[in-house]
A and B are shown apart, each in its own frame.
With several copies, the nearest count.
Chain A
């Protein structure tokens, strides 16, 4: 028997409150897939079976009065394939792709990187902190635009690690 609407609502609610980035279910005629975008909102990608069209709206995991969520287009932040390595910001600050406004960027999408190579700068309290790569690989995604603020733990880059 496929899941009821209520059951699907419950699942959505539950997953919304979790920190999973992806949830897939194939259950007796119901297929449900939830993916979390990098801005924290959930998107219902493929409600099939018993799920009516009415639930196929993004479920923003925000309380009333909270800042509006800026939906990031799916193309800009595809879910990482299983072998992509993430480089996260170790500090709060402002993200810069080059050592100075007129200088070349440290890396581009497609750049081949060695561990220890500088990927970017995060400025915090007027200090320029160089963020180094911890693996050998190739840049697949650069998730932050030049000059944008970053939080602690925010993903900056995704790399395909070199095959051994």
Chain B
């Protein structure tokens, strides 16, 4: 095992990694911007290095500063968390070039999965179904002929897109013509690549993802699914496991596909294979996230496995601590992301938290770096806490989550708790009848098409 690692992140995930390190006896180095000097991840780490000013591009995305911090503190490995540099193949390569172990998969796997067209090609080769779509389309003519084959409605998608950007729903040839150049221009500006392709737009689908885990000795397991269909404009609001939509047969089929996808690229460490599941129980690969997810505690809740400790052990060259047959799911787990946002408009509401009291009692977990009298910074993500409930069945997990959110005291700022409570009392949600369009009932008009991959925990990585 490593003696010391650096955590290239902030907030609750940085703390989460510190907890795992402490349980394994690994020393920790926190890095922080000037805005985060008083943050809990700084207080609880064994060492800390200020790496730049508040702006993320000059601190948490500043590869040179992070590598230097690892070098001056003698860290052996870097855990990137989620967001920031977690899915930067370039960063992973620089780590390895500097003799620092990047705690995650191989840089080449990160690069392939970050390129939607290449990922799709890899899945086609591995016989994992993807959403019907085209190859890259450049001209209007290519696009139109590809669209005829797929059928409308369809999506124009930028290869490098994410977070709802570089994505457009079109329902006719006229709209295709009108929006193709627009999406290309947008993508070119945002991602420095204007490559786009077309994809069938599926209606009434669910977002169901599988947690997979590989080691560097060729072992690979899955840890069941997470249901993530409760999204608002591609932001996940609530995740749970198991999915109310899966039975044992479908679960086994989807798990087999997830393992096939991960196997095809020789995947090591924690990863997530995301699928769209339609009403006919057909499912399509949409993407693979090559990092720990925000919602990993849901899987920890039903399996009892500590995913971050497993990440560290696997990165240190150990074998997976369990076989597939050791992994048994118990009960039901659910996560609500509490964001410092207006619960109606979902606009970020940074500010100072004046009172903060987290709920306790059985079957509850709260991961947070917030505390009384702390400042929710306008510079970073608005998520201030994750509440995870566990029950012997879905009804118990829901009632537990409800009383947890009702008794979570956060004063001084607005949070999404009222919105979450509305979801938790919705009869369709309680019955398990929902798809990715669920949240549109609570908003006037969706700005982007509902559905599929949420990228809230993936931050665009600037070329460094």
Task: List residues of A whose CB falls within 8 A of some B CB.
Answer: 13, 17, 19, 62-67, 91-94, 124-125, 149-154
Contact = CB atoms under 8 A, between A and B. Distances in A.
Contacts of B22: 65
B431 interface: no
A46 B243 CA distance: 55
Given A17-B373, A65-B407, A125 B46 contact: no
Interface in B16-61: 22, 34, 37-38, 40, 43-53, 59
A125 B354 contact: no
A17 B50 contact: no
Of A92, A125, A149, A154, which is in contact with the most chain B CB atoms at under 10 Å from its CB?
A: A92
Contact of B354 (A13, A91, A150): A13
SS of A interface (majority): loop
SS of B interface (majority): mixed
A152 B51 contact: yes
24 contacts: A19-B37, A63-B40, A63-B44, A63-B407, A64-B408, A65-B43, A65-B44, A65-B407, A66-B45, A67-B47, A91-B68, A92-B49, A92-B68, A92-B72, A124-B64, A124-B65, A124-B71, A125-B67, A125-B68, A125-B71, A149-B72, A150-B72, A152-B34, A153-B34
B409 A63 contact: yes
B254 to A, nearest CB: 39
Contacts of B40: 63
A90 to B, nearest CB: 9
A149 B357 CA distance: 32
B73 interface: yes
A150 B65 CA distance: 11
B462 to A, nearest CB: 18
B51 A92 contact: yes
Contacts of B37: 19
Contacts of B47: 67
B98 interface: yes
A48 to B, nearest CB: 24
Contacts of A153: 34, 50, 53
A161 B138 CA distance: 61
B38 to A, nearest CB: 7
Contacts of A154: 50
Interface residues of B, number: 33
Closest CB pairs A-B (n = 6):
A149-B72, A63-B43, A124-B68, A151-B50, A92-B68, A65-B406
A134 B244 CA distance: 64
Contacts of B48: 67
B72 A94 contact: yes
Contact of B65 (A62, A67, A92): A92
Interface in B43-101: 43-53, 59, 64-65, 67-69, 71-73, 98
B46 A151 contact: no
Nearest to A151: B50
Nearest to B49: A151
Given A91-B64, A91-B68, A66 B373 contact: no
Contacts of A64: 406-409
A17 B409 CA distance: 14
B72 A66 contact: no
A73 B212 CA distance: 53
A131 to B, nearest CB: 14
Contact of A151 (B45, B51, B357, B373): B51
Contacts of A62: 43
B38 A125 contact: no
Contacts of B46: 66-67
A65 B47 CA distance: 10
B373 A93 contact: no
B44 A152 contact: no
Nearest to B59: A152
Nearest to B403: A65
Nearest to A127: B64
Contacts of A93: 68, 71-72
B73 A125 contact: no
Given A92-B68, A152-B50, A125 B98 contact: yes
Contacts of A150: 72
A51 B357 CA distance: 29
Contacts of A152: 34, 49-53, 59, 65
B406 A92 contact: no
A92 B32 CA distance: 11
A66 B45 CA distance: 6
A153 B43 CA distance: 18
A65 B43 CA distance: 7
